[in-house]
């Protein structure tokens, strides 16, 4: 595969397999606040996409791919986050105020916001693996590296475009007005689509998981004030 062909292939494949991320990233950037920052989104996106590439590497080395249903079960992550936001609207994506006290890259990399974004990115890109595996398998080492470089460069472009979209007055006004209401439903819908599309869970098992997650979130919501009171008492 020639250099030009590898670049064109990388651009085409990335655009075709990550077009839906434009909507999700725009919603993410619209939710930026003091505890959920732009760097969390960018780092989480790169971490999740890197995991997708690693999961696709068996195609390049001629091995087996990770079973689709295991990836599909990660759809429970956006469902959990969406339910948490829906049932606890007064809370941010993550509640750790300690993150505001440090801007170090190392501390940021340990933040749960990043892993939430990366898990959603990985789960949403589960179908990408079925495309990346044969693409990598048909590439030599030079074209493989070029395609990877194109992928990661375009990932940055995706983040930049969606960040700018979230700051456009018309789009920002719509997102500001309806974003907080829509985000939980978008995440839940995304998770349900991932789980059902990958056949990771039977619909009845998915409903049961829904109910269990709602119960756990409500229990955690009730326990939080008690924990805070105990900490104040100490």
Mean of the per-residue pLDDT values for the chain? 74
Assign 3-class secondary structure to 103-143: CCHHHHHCCHHHHHHHHHHHHHCCCHHHHHHHHHHCCCHHH
pTM value surpassing 0.85: no
Average pLDDT on 220-229 reads 59
Per residue in 123-147, pLDDT (tens digit) is 877 777 777 876 777 778 888 899 8
pLDDT at 102: 39
pLDDT at 106: 42
Q: What range does the domain containing 167 cover?
A: 3-233
- Distance of alpha carbon 161 from its chain centroid, rounded? 17
Distance between CA atoms of 74 and 76, rounded to whole angstroms? 5
H-assigned helices in the chain: 3-18, 21-30, 38-61, 68-72, 76-87, 105-109, 112-124, 128-137, 141-167, 169-198, 203-233
pLDDT at 160: 92
Number of domains the chain is built from:
1
Share of the chain above pLDDT 70, in %: 68
Q: Examine the pLDDT at 155 and tell me if it is beyond 90.
A: yes
């Amino acid at each position: 595969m020639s250099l030009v062909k590898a670049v064109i292939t990388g651009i085409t494949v990335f655009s075709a397999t990550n077009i839906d991320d434009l909507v999700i990233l725009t919603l993410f950037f619209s939710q930026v606040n003091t505890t959920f920052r732009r760097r969390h989104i960018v780092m989480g996106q790169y971490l999740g996409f890197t995991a997708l590439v690693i999961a696709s590497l068996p195609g390049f080395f001629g091995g087996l791919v990770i079973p689709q249903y295991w990836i599909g079960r990660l759809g429970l992550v956006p469902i959990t986050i969406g339910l948490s936001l829906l049932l606890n609207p007064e809370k941010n994506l993550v509640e750790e105020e300690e993150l505001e006290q440090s801007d170090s890259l190392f501390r940021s990399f340990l933040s749960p916001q990043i892993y939430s974004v990366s898990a959603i990115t990985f789960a949403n890109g589960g179908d990408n693996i079925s495309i990346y595996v044969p693409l990598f398998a048909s590439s030599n080492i030079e074209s493989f590296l070029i395609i990877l470089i194109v992928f990661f460069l375009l990932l940055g472009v995706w983040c930049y475009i969606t960040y700018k979209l979230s700051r456009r007055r018309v789009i920002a006004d719509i997102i500001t007005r309806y974003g907080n209401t829509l985000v939980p439903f978008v995440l839940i819908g995304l998770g349900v689509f991932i789980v059902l599309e990958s056949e990771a869970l039977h619909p009845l098992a998915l409903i049961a998981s829904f109910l269990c997650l709602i119960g756990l979130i409500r229990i955690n919501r009730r326990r939080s004030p008690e924990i805070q009171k105990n900490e104040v008492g100490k």
